[in-house]
Structure 1
Amino acid sequence: MKTKKIVITGGPGTGKSSIIRMLEAQGHECLHEISRQVTLEAQKQGIDQLFLDKPLLFSEKLLEGRIVQHKEADMLPATTVFIDRGIPDVLAYMEYFKTSYPSDFIEACKNHLYDKIFILPPWPEIYVSDNERYESFNESRRISSYLVETYKNYGYTPIEVPKIPVRERSEFILKTIDE
């Protein structure tokens, strides 16, 4: 049986990680966002902000990691795996920052498909900035529109998750998976 791959995406500070942690606490298989790992790895190598210093290299590392996650999802014993951001997120960010990318990025989107995409809309009441999140709320809003457009360009119909408490957002996602 094929594993369902469910992406939870949205601009920075929209609650993705909180929902992933909630789903995980409820016993669901989840794969976490990898951009912070990529950033921390680069910092260990003396590059303070890889995304700002070498955006294409950062995006290549994200793409590699998200392809690995896509394959990893198929190896897990669960029938459904929730993933914090998908491969098209890489392209959406590159489009947002007007960074060109090679065709293998496009091929990765076409060759590694997901079953459902849930997008968390920008929500000023929960947005928080931190050491790894340097985007403002307005930038988060613009990034969100790029995410929606990119997923649509690859044939997905992103489902907007309502602005309700984390538990209810998780329940909404669980109820909507098979619709």
Structure 2
Amino acid sequence: MKVFDMDSDRFFVLTGGPGAGKTTLVEALRARGFAATEEAGRGVIREEMETGGDALPWIDRQRFAERMFEWELSSYRQAEREAGAVFFDRGLPDTLGYLTLEGLPVPPWMEEEAWRLRYHARVFAAPPWKEIYGVDEERRQSWQVAVRTYEVMVRTYTDFGYDLVELPRAAVEQRLAFVLKEAGLAE
């Protein structure tokens, strides 16, 4: 088992636009026994729809972003209690990227937290992949928005000092092997 010196060394983020295979890859990592988080956006949308809330991207984008950030903070705190590597289906900077994408102000407290609570220096970025992209009840963005989202997430993580490693457009098993190798977790 790999030994990590700090939490940030064992916290691996997968980012990118919607519909690029991040969650499928996170599920494959979870199936291999790694701790992983649930994507904040989908989780918040699901909760808000179940309770009749309005913190939804098509109703109140600012409140939606606040809820996503709170979700990511909670995921980070939960990850601190886990042993070994943890894979994040997006991270705190993703919410800041979302706000930027939507032309909304980034609250200073969110930016401060994103600088304070760090992840591994190398962040995995899932590039837009039209062949697997699709919409559903929770993912309503167009292909064009998915591409712009990827671009904004790359810029946001870069601005926060992370190095991005682009995932190959390949089957999930190949992506899984790639991530484990790049994270230094390959068997």
Q: Which runs of 5+ in 1 are unaligned?
A: none
Do the aligned partners of 1:17 and 1:84 also contact (CA within 8 Å) in 2? yes
SS in 2 for 1:53: coil
TM score, norm. by length of structure 1: 0.94
Matches within 5 A, 1:32-47: 32-47=38-53
Q: Which of 111, 114, 119 is equivalent to 1:114?
A: 119
| Match for residue 96 of structure 1 among 93, 98, 101 | 101
1:73-88 → structure 2 map (5 Å cutoff)? 73-77=79-83, 79-88=84-93
Question: C-alpha offsets along residues 4-43 of structure 1, whole Å, 9 cap, x if unaligned?
Answer: 1000111000001100111111111111212222112222
Paired residues in the alignment total 178
CA distance in 2, matches of 1:36, 1:67: 15
Report what 1:24 is aligned to: 30
- Please tell me the root mean square deviation across aligned C-alpha atoms, in Å: 1.5
- Aligned partner of 2:137 in structure 1 is 131
Moved runs in structure 1, 4+ residues, more than 4 A? none
Of all paired residues, the percent bearing the same amino acid is: 33
Assess if the C-alpha contact under 8 Å between 2:13 and 2:91 holds in 1.
Answer: yes
Aligned to 2:26, what secondary structure does the other structure show?
helix
Rounded Cα–Cα distance in structure 1 between residues aligned with 2:58 and 2:104? 11
3-state SS, counterpart of residue 129 of structure 1: coil
List alignment gaps of at least 5 residues for structure 2.
none
- Mapping of residues 124-163 of structure 1, within 5 Å: 124-163=130-169
In the superposition, the TM-score normalised over structure 2's length comes to: 0.90
